[in-house]
Structure formats: C-alpha cells, structure tokens
Chain A
C-alpha cells in the first residue's frame, strides 16, 4: 500500500497526536500504527471517492484501526481528514451526514448511528466506522470521538457562513456547503444550500457568494443563458442594480433567483413565486448581518 511518507507525517505536526496511541475506548486498542495519506495517496485509502475531497481543500488524512481485545475481528476504523478550512470540513460532514442519524454532542456538530460516527471540528472532518461487525455500542464510539476531539483545535464552532440560513423556514441540519458546481451547475462554483418549508411545501434555498457584484451578475447571466438554451421560458426583471429571474429549471422545476450585491439568492422546486420572494428577503437580511466571504 502506498501511503504518505514519514516526512509528510512529520511535516504536519498538528496531526501527529490526534489519534489516541493506545486505547481509543475501553477495550479498543490501536492495531499497528497510524497511517497518513496525502493528495497523492488518498486514492489508496478511499479509491475514486478521493475526488469528492479535493474541492474541499483536502490536505492530509490520518487513519488508524482500533480492534476489540476480546474479539479482534471487531474494529473501529478512524479517519481524520485535514480539510482546507472550517467551512470545507463542514461541507464534507454535510455530504456524509444522513437525515436519520442521531445528532451527538462532539466537535462542532456530529451524528451517530450503530455503525458510524461523524463529526467536524475546526478544519478537521472525522469519520469513525465499525468493521467486522454490524454495530458497535454508541458509548464506545462516543468515548473515542471525545478523545479525538480533545486533541483537535477547540472553539471554532459551526461555520459563520451558516448564519445566513438562520431563518425559521430553513430545516435544521439540512444545510450543505457545496465547493464545486452548486445544483450540479459548473457556472455556480460554490455555495450553500438548505431545505426550507414554506406554505407546507418543501423547497430548497441556495446562496452563491461571488467575489464582487460584477461576478455575481456574470453568474446570473450564465444561468439565464443556460435556461434560455434549455428552452425554458425565463422572466427577468431588474431594479436598482439587482436582477430577478423566474423560470422553470430543467432539473429542479420552478425557480426564483435574485442577484443581490455579490450574492445570488435562489429557491428551487417552488410552487408560489411570492413565497420564494419572501424567503429571499429573509435570507437577504441575514446576509446583511452575516456576510459570507
């Protein structure tokens, strides 16, 4: 197996002592040594899935396996990924988080089920998985996670960018950060998405932050052109340097998008444009208070 060299390992002192050297929890002790994987070798650990990590600024993975002393076939595989930033770590966490998993208090946010625990803290995304058995006691996972959490930088909490979604309509823990091709469109290079309930309907809201108002208008134009080329009937209005768009998106159905300063704010899968406008207004206010950089 290819893995990062000892030099890579030494180069990142922040990851040197993240994983407990002996026991992770109770009777669960480390087999062999920790293994490091960098951008060149991540494929050896997770194969093509590595590509998901790169847009999120993946730098290094430290990995270890903790086997049960009574039954060595049962083990916990622990992976700690050093990502580009806090929002990147959150983005990876949200990619893997499943709606039916239980929230757990570890790191900035975490979820647990019988075979897996996920959390992120600072710029680190942590995955713990049961192997050789269907399930592992949750307190074992939790104890191990807490140990790792103590070894990671503390205090960062959730990304500030998520405050933009602090409106009543947004469904809790549905937020995602997409580092590439928001909504599956390459012309939306990155952005935030979340589910929202409005008028009894489940819709999706999104925010595309750009570097400038000009850049946001360019993104808006790209989307407009794409919709036109797709044969969608598009209605564009403008007011005070702001643009609004209503159309039927080929992938998502009814859509409303507003260009507001250096942001695009949008809602997809909507029935009533009025409701989408209300959501956009609420998100706008949040962005005024908590801008996304």
Chain B
C-alpha cells in the first residue's frame, strides 16, 4: 500500500513521466522487444481479438471466475461493462460507496439480461458495523444493482483485526445469507493487510470466504507470504491496485508496463483474479488481453526498467531524510514541488505555489549556507531510497526559486 500512497494523485496512465521518454528499444533488448511487441498494444482503432477466458477458483466459494475481472469503480458507461461481460468476463466488483451508490446503478444497467452469467461483488459502507447498517447497505445495493442476490458481499476497507470479529456484523451477514440475498462473505483491505488476513485465518469459524487485497510488483514479501497462507486456508484472494499507482503508455511506445504489472500479479497462483479499474474500452482491451499470457522475461525487463527509470526521481515523501539535515530543510515538500513541476502534473504554477508555502529558513536556498559535508564533501542528508538530495535541492533552486 505504500506505493499507492506515494503515487496517489496520479491516474494510472499518468504516473511519473520523468525518465520514460526513451524509446522502446531503450527499455527492452532487440529480441525481447520483438517478443513483447507481438502481444502488447491494443488501442481501440487496431484490430483486437478477444482472448479466450481463463478461470481460477475463488477459494472455498467454488466460483470459477475470470483471472482478469472487472473493477467497475471508474467506469461511467454501462456499455463498456456489458462488452466485457459479453466477451466472457464473469466477475464484476463495485461498492456501495463508489460514487455514492451510483456506480452500483451503472453495474445494475450492465447486468440487464446477463445476471445469470455474472458474479457480482459489492461492499458495505466502510463505517457500517451494526446489524441495521449492514442490512440497510445490502438492501440498498440490491435495489441499485437491480438484482435479488449478491454473490460476494464484502466489508469495505478493514484496517485491523477487530472488524473481522464483530458479532453484530456477522449476525447481519448470516441473516442475509439465510434469506438468499447474499451468497458469500468477504473483506477488503489496503492497510495492515497482514494483520487483517491473519485475522481471517485465526477465525475459528472461518466466517469470511474471500479477501480483496492490494498486491503489486512493489508489494513487500510479507504480503505475498500472508496471501499464500490465506489461499492455503482456502480463502479466495482477489488482487486490486495491481498497478502500484499508474502509468502512461504513450511514452513507452507499444510497450505497456500496465500489462506487465497485471501479469506479474497473476503469475502468483495464490491470486484468483485481479480487478483492474477500466474507464474505457481501451483500458478494457489492454487488461483483458493479458488473460492467458504468461509473465515472461520481457515483462520482467519492463518492470525492472520501469522501476529503475522512476526510482532516481521518485520521492516517497516519507520525510525521514529531514531528520538527517542539519539546516532543517523541508526536503520532502521541496521534492513534492519538484514532482509537480517535472512529473505527471507538469504544473510549474502548482510547483511554485507549493514551494512558496515553505518558510525561507527551510527552503532549498538554505543549502547554500550549509557547511556540513560528509567525508566525500557532499550533503549529509540521506534518503533511505538513495535519492541524491543535494542534486534535488539544486534542481529546486533552478526551477522554483
């Protein structure tokens, strides 16, 4: 989830453009390029052959769902979802919260005439815990989705183990299942995922059947480990945020790191499916094309090169470097201002206004008065991710002062 925080504010195709303007061949070697070029790229105006659906079993639910399933949160047109369903995608994820319930209405329109071919997952409101709240949420979702049952009802955004065990919540869910209004129970989690997934396994009743987790090529090993344990316990695992933020494809020519990232997540057999958000037909085609594709050497190269291209520029804004600066420079805020100037935002105005918020005594100009140097004669401030802080501050002085 750290990556998501870091990249928040950029949509998935905007991400950092810095350092990605090189040619495709700079990202891949010749043979790898040829291999990749065969299956990457799927703009709307090119001929596109929809792949044969690939299914995996969602834990103990027994549901066979497509490995690339539909995250509907960002989709404004039901027709795009319908096209996906008509080409074999059979699992759609939405939430009561998305667009204040309007997203469920959009999904409801897409389901018309197709309900028996599709598994529908939605989520109760994040704050809902009481029996009344849970029942109200589900009843409202059923109405919005224009269906009489939900396949997977998920508790939204669990951040600790406590909510896994609330008796009232379980009572409500059980009652709804007994009434035939929901079939299976799940949770979603972005934060403290290890704790939440461990709680699902610790639960003697094994009440929850599925977990929707943030999982991508930048995830810590601990996430993969706990996912493996949960899958072994027959909890169905679905991956979200497989992109670790977002990318822009144009700068990378026909090579899409988005597809590589999706394949990376799906190569883990403990993941039943991923639910990338699909705003439009182009994104749908890009995502669905991955079904059945193995994660190959070319993909590995793409992700490696991509991460490498981004790393020298990318500040996680953790602020730990500021403890090492004797002059009290607000390094992370300055880096954020630089990101506005040079990153996806390309906004000098936003960059300068951000920079102006910093007190002069904590600005990059203060570095010029600093006499503290390390043995090699450079800035003593240290970034845990290896960013060259002195160079960043100099760049800030050039661009923003």
> A: which residues have CB within 8 A of B?
2, 5, 7-8, 10-11, 38-44, 47-52, 54-55, 95-96, 98, 116, 127, 129, 131-132, 134, 178, 180-181, 183-187, 222, 225-226, 229, 250-252
Taking A50-B9, A181-B282, A251-B80 as known contacts, 11 extra A-B pairs with beta carbons closer than 8 A to each other, sorted by chain A number, are: A5-B357, A7-B358, A96-B100, A131-B127, A178-B76, A184-B280, A186-B282, A186-B283, A225-B45, A229-B46, A252-B79
A222 to B43 Cα, complex, angstroms? 11
By the criterion CB–CB under 8 Å, are B44 and A185 in contact?
Answer: yes
The answer to whether residues A7 and B357 also contact, given A43-B9, A252-B79 and a CB cut-off of 8 A, is: yes
Shortest Cβ distance from B345 into A: residue: A39
6 intermolecular pairs with C-beta atoms under 8 Å apart = A2-B5, A40-B8, A54-B11, A116-B100, A184-B75, A185-B281
A250 to B44 Cα, complex, angstroms? 12
By the criterion CB–CB under 8 Å, are B9 and A40 in contact?
Answer: yes
B interface residues, how many (CB within 8 angstroms): 51
A98 to B103 Cα, complex, angstroms? 11
By the criterion CB–CB under 8 Å, are B83 and A187 in contact?
Answer: no
B307 at the interface (CB under 8 A from A): no
By the criterion CB–CB under 8 Å, are A49 and B282 in contact?
Answer: no
B161 at the interface (CB under 8 A from A): no
A251 to B280 Cα, complex, angstroms? 11
Could you say which residues of chain B place their CB within 8 Å of the CB of A52? 73-74, 99
The answer to whether residues A49 and B97 also contact, given A43-B9, A186-B280, A186-B282 and a CB cut-off of 8 A, is: yes
Secondary structure call for the B interface: loop
By the criterion CB–CB under 8 Å, are A181 and B100 in contact?
Answer: no
Could you say which residues of chain A place their CB within 8 Å of the CB of B11? 51, 54-55
A2 to B316 Cα, complex, angstroms? 13
A70 to B353 Cα, complex, angstroms? 43
The answer to whether residues A229 and B354 also contact, given A96-B102, A132-B127, A181-B279 and a CB cut-off of 8 A, is: no
Shortest Cβ distance from A186 into B: residue: B282
Of A2, A41, A226, chain B has the most CB atoms within 10 Å of the CB of A226
Could you say which residues of chain B place their CB within 8 Å of the CB of A47? 157, 190
Could you say which residues of chain B place their CB within 8 Å of the CB of A229? 45-48
Across the A-B interface, the 7 shortest Cβ-Cβ residue pairs: A39-B9, A7-B357, A181-B280, A43-B8, A251-B79, A184-B80, A186-B282
By the criterion CB–CB under 8 Å, are B46 and A43 in contact?
Answer: no
By the criterion CB–CB under 8 Å, are A95 and B281 in contact?
Answer: no
The 8 Å CB contact of B8, one of A5, A41, A95, is A41
Closest chain B CB from A289 CB (angstroms): 28
B12 at the interface (CB under 8 A from A): yes
A250 to B281 Cα, complex, angstroms? 11
B114 at the interface (CB under 8 A from A): no
Could you say which residues of chain A place their CB within 8 Å of the CB of B357? 5, 7-8, 10-11
By the criterion CB–CB under 8 Å, are B100 and A50 in contact?
Answer: no
A43 to B12 Cα, complex, angstroms? 13
By the criterion CB–CB under 8 Å, are A11 and B77 in contact?
Answer: no
Could you say which residues of chain A place their CB within 8 Å of the CB of B80? 184, 251
Closest chain A CB from B250 CB (angstroms): 11
Q: Contact string, B275-290, partner A, CB cutoff 8 A, digits 1/0?
A: 0010111110000000
By the criterion CB–CB under 8 Å, are B102 and A11 in contact?
Answer: no
B198 at the interface (CB under 8 A from A): no
By the criterion CB–CB under 8 Å, are A95 and B102 in contact?
Answer: yes
B105 at the interface (CB under 8 A from A): yes
